[in-house]
Amino acid sequence: MIDIDDIKLLKLKAIDFNEPSTNAKKLERDFLYYLCNHLGHFTNCSKYSLYEAMALVIRDRIMGNWHRTWDTYRRNKVRRASYLSLEFLIGRSLGNHVLNLDLRDNIDQAIQDFCFKLEGIEQQEHDAGLGNGGLGRLAACFMDSCAALQLPVIGFGLRYEYGIFRQQLEHGYQIEEPDHWLREGNPWEIKRSELSQVIHFGGRTETVTDEQGRTVKKWVDTQDILAIPYDVPVSGYQNDTVNTLRLWRAAATDEFSLEEFNAGDYAEAVEQKNHAEAITMVLYPNDTSENGKELRLRQQYFLASASLKDIQRSWKETSSNGMTDFAEGNIFQLNDTHPSIAVAELMRILIDENGMQWDQAWDITTSCMAYTNHTLLPEALEKWPVFLFERLLPRVLEIIYKINSQMLREISQRWPGDAERMKRMSLVEEGAVRQVRMAHLAIAGSFSVNGVAHLHSELLKDGLFRDFYELWPEKFNNKTNGVTPRRWIAHANPLMSSLISQHIGENWLRDLRQIDALKKFSDPSEKKFHDTWYEVKHQNKERLARLVEQQCGIVFNPHSMFDVQVKRIHEYKRQLLNVLHVIHLYNRIKAGHVENWTNRCVLIGGKAAPGYSRAKMIIKLINNVSSVINEDPDIGDLLKLTFLPNFSVSAMEIIAPGTDLSEQISTAGKEASGTGNMKFMMNGALTIGTYDGANIEILDAVGKNNFFLFGHRVEDLAAMKEHYNPQSIIDGDEDLRKVMNLLESGHFNIDEPGIFNDLIDTLKDRHDPWFTLADFRDYIDTQQRAADCYRDRQQWIKMSIMNTACCGMFSSDRTIEEYNNDIWKLDQIKPGPINPTTAEPSR
Ligand code: HTE
């Protein structure tokens, strides 16, 4: 008998449990067991229960390796990295684990007697929409790659009750609906209450004398909130590693509500509980723009503090030197400035909670923090009012001040008397409201600062962070983004994947550089391969057309060119430029200029931040233009335009494989990297794109003959800035004039006069920061080249194959290898058998 207090014995018993078999018979039995015995469904059940039962079957087959992976890391006292991010845009997990565990064939066999398919079950899973766009999805791809590469990396994030809002359309306008993704539970998460942490807010600081007679600071009278971790497994690709994504949920501490209860104010106590839980209630739906809400700062500190305390706890379990050698064993990668308050929080933990001296604490902190910047847009640069810090995090603010004075001293030694430089670089911006500049804190506290594509990293050095580059050039580096080929090729595009594997073997999924071997099949003499390639693309287009018809009620003819732009709606991404081109094509058809025509289906999708009214009007414009075009009997199959509502990770899994032409048309210098561009290219789409972000590296990889490049470059735009004159561009371009005239005539908003005036004005504004009309002509001409090329089917297939064949460097495995070689310095390690004498499943 195991006594309830004898956890140790329980652990020993637990380590020799049997790994459930993966043969089809056992899978079927377990599936029925979960459905009937566990979930209690007998004669009928919801489709969701089928998913739930299947998820539990898979989860059982992950557990052993998850345990072994933890135990191996702990036992070997390996150096670890923590990826701190306010966003992890995971999407669905079932299919991903099935691929990683190589269970698909067995499951298909296990359920062959039932009248549903695994694919149907997979679709029941709610997307985990814990992110806005590229930044959040990148974090998810990185977690996948770390597990694939067997690196000891733990992700830390927040378990938002509500993820990114669900987007619906009403009369062409975006409507946001709450996404209560956890309503039916989440079979992947394991709550670990025993690892909860207490997080402090509010209160004040006191100067006191400690036992050794030193003056030290104390943070007192705080309001405490409980951080409860929920662990989500991250399986590696057929390699037994299962890493962890640890998501924190906020809850009221028992003590806190108790006090109120004792005071007899029951309602107040419950309200405080709600107040505590509000921290992880909702994801802020802004991408590349700052929000500035107090609750958001609370979220940031909550994540940083809970994660650091968790790592401190586990570090102390294995280290004999306390926190002195913490930096040898730990590194934190900050996903943008959102978690950058971790710099000051680690200082606070080392000094206040471990009695360390400032200089030693600073050495440790700056040896284990690394910061990734994801945008140059000034509206995304986080600043927090000092008064907020004073109220919420008074002790943390004191530390920030001290970091600042130390840095300013260093600057004044290097550039004596350069007051302007000090002002520019200060962690605190002076003004009516003094503000803490989080990027400056992140740079000062990190030993590595990286951008996410070559151009972006260069622009950081000679623009936004120039002063810091001059002070600390050795910190700056580039890590070009990547995406996981498991989700974005193997899972999303099984037809193409098996075609590839038939010709070059299967190893490309582990090492995407090997997909290079596909190049030789791009030669048109490989007729059979070309025919199959075309057939696969066609089937993927049919699948996408079904989605479009379901979601939009518009019929896409899969023989047309599928021209797609899906991403967040933002002026810099220039969905407007896309619409101008569509209107131009519409004009041509109406004028009868359809010589050498290529039928085209244009798909646009993406969410607008709820407070970004201009972005919402762009959605409305797309929908209005779409109605006019799709309802005009003259247009027919020549041209279609539709807006796909509620773009998501799982929608992208259907969209990318079915796309012919990928629109990557941001104003040069504005898209830090882009990652959708990579997902499209991998799936054999051609890119029409500007010289921006990772487009440049894609262009380098495929060559200019396999890429439709257009538009002004960063330096062209800089030179044009002073004399940019959109009106003269309109006057000098007949096609553009016709497009603008039609827009201004109200042709697309007959019942809603004037609604697009603001959009039209921005296009014609001499200070339009996005230079949309400056790129119109080249864009239109380049679109024509793409269209002509598409009619030469043989040529297009060749280019399509070349795009897939050249995608090797855009695997996030490559990106993670670079992070590891240059920044993290972790050893790869395979999970070994559990050692019963040291078994300790807790962390
Ligand atoms: C870039 C995109 C890049 C991606 O990161 C982005 N940066 C943000 N969102 C992105 O998608 C971002 C969001 C909130 C605050 C600051 C930045 O726009 C991943 O591919 O180009 O690096």
Q: Which pLDDT tens digit goes with each residue over 668-689? A: 999 999 999 999 999 999 999 9
Q: What pLDDT is attached to residue 254?
A: 77
Q: What pLDDT is attached to residue 567?
A: 98
CA of 789 to the centre of ligand 1 (A): 32
Quick one: which atom of ligand 1 is closest to the CA of 452? 22
**What secondary structure does DSSP assign to 252-304, as a single string?**
E-HHHHHHHHHTT-HHHHHHHHHHHHGGGTB----SSS----HHHHHHHHHHH
How much of the chain, in percent, has pLDDT values that exceed 90? 91
Averaged pLDDT for residues 145-168 = 98
Averaged pLDDT for residues 504-531 = 98
Q: Which pLDDT tens digit goes with each residue over 362-376? A: 999 999 999 999 999
Quick one: which atom of ligand 1 is closest to the CA of 372? 22
DSSP run (H or E) holding 689: strand 686-689
Do 434 and 385 touch, CB atoms closer than 8 A?
yes
Catalytic status, residue 374: yes
Averaged pLDDT for residues 326-346 = 98
Averaged pLDDT for residues 678-707 = 98
Q: What pLDDT is attached to residue 14?
A: 61
Q: Which pLDDT tens digit goes with each residue over 766-792? A: 999 999 999 999 999 999 999 999 999
838 pLDDT more than 70: no
549 pLDDT more than 80: yes
Active-site residue identified among 59, 200, 456, 568: 568
Amino acid identity, position 387 = F
Q: What pLDDT is attached to residue 11?
A: 66
Banded model confidence at residue 474, pLDDT cuts 50, 70, 90: very high
Own/partner pairs, 173-176, CB within 8 angstroms, 24+ separation = 173/616, 173/619, 173/620, 173/623, 174/607, 174/608, 174/616, 174/619, 174/620, 176/285, 176/610
Q: What pLDDT is attached to residue 842?
A: 46
Cβ of 135 less than 6 Å from ligand 1:
yes
Distance separating alpha carbons of residues 342 and 313, to the nearest angstrom: 16
CA of 142 to the centre of ligand 1 (A): 14
383 pLDDT more than 80: yes
840 pLDDT more than 70: no
553 pLDDT more than 70: yes
Banded model confidence at residue 44, pLDDT cuts 50, 70, 90: confident
Q: Which pLDDT tens digit goes with each residue over 271-318? A: 777 889 999 999 999 997 888 899 999 999 999 999 999 999 999 999
Q: Which pLDDT tens digit goes with each residue over 164-202? A: 999 999 999 999 999 999 999 999 999 999 999 999 999
Averaged pLDDT for residues 648-667 = 99
CB-side exposure of 764: number of CA atoms within 13 Å?
17
Cβ of 671 less than 6 Å from ligand 1:
yes
Quick one: which atom of ligand 1 is closest to the CA of 481? 22
Quick one: which atom of ligand 1 is closest to the CA of 133? 11
Banded model confidence at residue 18, pLDDT cuts 50, 70, 90: low
841 pLDDT more than 50: no
CA of 778 to the centre of ligand 1 (A): 26
Do 629 and 639 touch, CB atoms closer than 8 A?
yes
Q: What is the mean pLDDT of the chain?
A: 95
10 pLDDT more than 80: no
Catalytic status, residue 670: no
Q: What pLDDT is attached to residue 843?
A: 44
Q: Whose CA is nearest to atom 13 of ligand 1?
A: 288
More confident residue, 667 or 270: 667
Amino acid identity, position 183 = R
Do 843 and 311 touch, CB atoms closer than 8 A?
no
Distance separating alpha carbons of residues 234 and 5, to the nearest angstrom: 31
Banded model confidence at residue 270, pLDDT cuts 50, 70, 90: confident
Catalytic status, residue 782: no
Active-site residue identified among 567, 584, 640, 814: 567
Do 299 and 85 touch, CB atoms closer than 8 A?
no
Q: What pLDDT is attached to residue 16?
A: 54
CA of 381 to the centre of ligand 1 (A): 12
Q: What pLDDT is attached to residue 359?
A: 98
Catalytic status, residue 527: no
Cβ of 189 less than 6 Å from ligand 1:
no
Averaged pLDDT for residues 713-736 = 98
Q: What pLDDT is attached to residue 832?
A: 92
Own/partner pairs, 587-590, CB within 8 angstroms, 24+ separation = 587/735, 587/738, 587/739, 587/742, 589/634, 589/635, 589/638, 589/639, 590/634
Which residues make beta-bridge pairs with 639? 600
CA of 456 to the centre of ligand 1 (A): 11
Averaged pLDDT for residues 412-425 = 98
Catalytic status, residue 541: no
Active-site residue identified among 374, 395, 479, 843: 374
Interior angle at CA 735, CA 734 and CA 741, nearest 5: 85
Integer distance in angstroms from the first to the last C-alpha of the chain? Answer: 25
Which DSSP state fits 492? T
Cβ of 481 less than 6 Å from ligand 1:
yes
Q: Whose CA is nearest to atom 14 of ligand 1?
A: 288
Q: What pLDDT is attached to residue 12?
A: 63
197-201 vs 173-177, strand pairing mode: unpaired
587 pLDDT more than 60: yes
Quick one: which atom of ligand 1 is closest to the CA of 694? 20
Which residues make beta-bridge pairs with 84? 156, 334
Averaged pLDDT for residues 121-133 = 98
